[in-house]
Amino acid sequence: MAESAGLWMRIDGKDNPSKPLSFDNMANRPIKGTTELKKYNIVLDIPSNSNLINFGLILSGTGEVWVNGLKYEVVDKDVPTTYLLNNAPKADATVNLDFEK
């Protein structure tokens, strides 16, 4: 039986890819048990020195997880972030959200 599940997202920088700029793996709000489809969010600022956006799904234990409708969205600055890193930087500018560069 699955112990828990969750989404994860990490923002890596250009200068030090081994030290994430932003990170959230839903460890403080895991999905447990059998649930109906529900919307879950990860909200991270994307600093201008970002290089990669990594994301995925975590399943602890056995079971299955279904994902539907993953998407990136720009949100207003008043939407709180879900950072799990201490002293995470705030974005100074949001750039390249269409991933064309």
pLDDT, tens digit, for every residue of 41-51? 999 998 888 89
Q: Which residues contact 14 (CB under 8 A, 6 or more apart)?
A: 49, 50, 51
Number of domains in the chain: 1
pTM above 0.85, yes or no: no
Cα 24 to Cα 36, 54, 63, 70, distances in angstroms: 22, 11, 22, 16
Domain of residue 48: give its range.
Answer: 1-101
Top pLDDT among 16 and 21 is at: 21
**pLDDT score of 43:** 95
